[in-house]
Amino acid sequence: MAAAVDSQVDLSTIPISPEGTNGQDENKNPNGDSDEQITVFHDKDNFNVKHPLMNKWTLWFTKPPSGKGDNWNDLLKEVITFNSVEEFWGVYNNIAPVSELALKSDYHLFKQGVRPEWEDPQNKHGGKWSYQFKEKRNVPIDDLWLHVMLSAIGETLEEEEDGELMGVVVNVRKGFYRIGVWTRTIGKSIPGGGEADVAGGKGRSLEKGKEILMNIGRKFKDVLKIPASEQVEFSGHTESAHSGSTRAKAKYTV
């Protein structure tokens, strides 16, 4: 059974690689046959082959505030960075599921080098798609969060040339769970982006930018299996910051 939030596994001991965890050479399988390729899907403890991801990803965790004036940087903790399917499962299987987290906790899974903050240079011109699940008892939040993470690291929420996806977030609150997908833009070219404005954002028309974001929103909605009668909302980080809330007026809906 997964560790409870007050007795979490020491993350430094996570067996994300077979090297050094079982006394065996990482190029050999448990039976000593160095030619046979063993993946995590065959043997989760003694694999010798990794499936690389297109990007490196970093898992972050926001712990609940103590009520003693904690600031965001004190609460936000970088957990681990990984770049293979095997490492992802090693991390996922050794941390507390969302359903067991304390209130006001968050998990953030972002591309390496991007902090899960509005102020991060790669986020400040962007926004997010989000949806709140208010009937917490009836929500399979662990499965939903897993599927969103897999969609992110599997690069299926956007087209390869879009370059929009920054990360995904899940929030645990008293009255709801919220899952979000953060994007690099709000559907238009980044001002003065230059070389930093990659993957089609530079010079992208507003119509094209909106089309890309709407496509991400639709895919996100499909992953969450949200009924057609319900809406997933997109809002810009700047608008959210000015409103003093993560619930800024929606810019787009699907």
pLDDT at 240: 73
**Domain annotation for the chain: domains and CATH numbers:** 5-253 (3.30.760.10)
Distance between CA atoms of residues 184 and 125, nearest Å = 6
Distance between CA atoms of residues 115 and 183, nearest Å = 13
Tell the residue number behind the tokens 């003694």, with chain if given: 46
Distance between CA atoms of residues 114 and 192, nearest Å = 19
* pLDDT greater at residue 22 or residue 157: 157
Q: How far is CA 148 from CA 30, 143, 153, 224, in A?
A: 33, 9, 9, 7
Encode pLDDT of 198-229 as tens digits.
444 567 888 999 999 999 999 999 999 999 99
With H, G, I as helix, E, B as strand and everything else as coil, classify residue 148.
Answer: helix
Q: How far is CA 41 from CA 45, 47, 78, 201, in A?
A: 10, 8, 27, 37
Q: Helix-strand-coil percent breakdown of the chain, rounded to 5?
A: 25, 20, 50
Distance between CA atoms of residues 95 and 174, nearest Å = 21
Largest CA distance in the chain: 61
Query: pTM of the predicted model, to two decimals?
Result: 0.79
Encode pLDDT of 68-91 as tens digits.
777 778 899 999 999 999 899 999
Asked if 59 contacts 8 with a C-beta cutoff of 8 angstroms, the reply is no
**Is residue 58's pLDDT more than 90?**
yes
Encode pLDDT of 230-248 as tens digits.
999 999 998 776 665 555 6
Distance between CA atoms of residues 150 and 181, nearest Å = 12
Asked if 160 contacts 195 with a C-beta cutoff of 8 angstroms, the reply is no
**Across 118-134, average pLDDT:** 95
If phi > 0 it is left, if psi is from -120 to 50 it is alpha, else beta; for residue 170 that is: beta
Poorest-confidence range of 56-60, 99-103, 186-190, 213-217? Answer: 186-190
Encode pLDDT of 1-53 as tens digits.
443 434 443 444 334 433 333 333 444 444 445 568 877 677 767 777 789 99
R_g of the chain computed on alpha carbons? 19
pLDDT at 34: 53
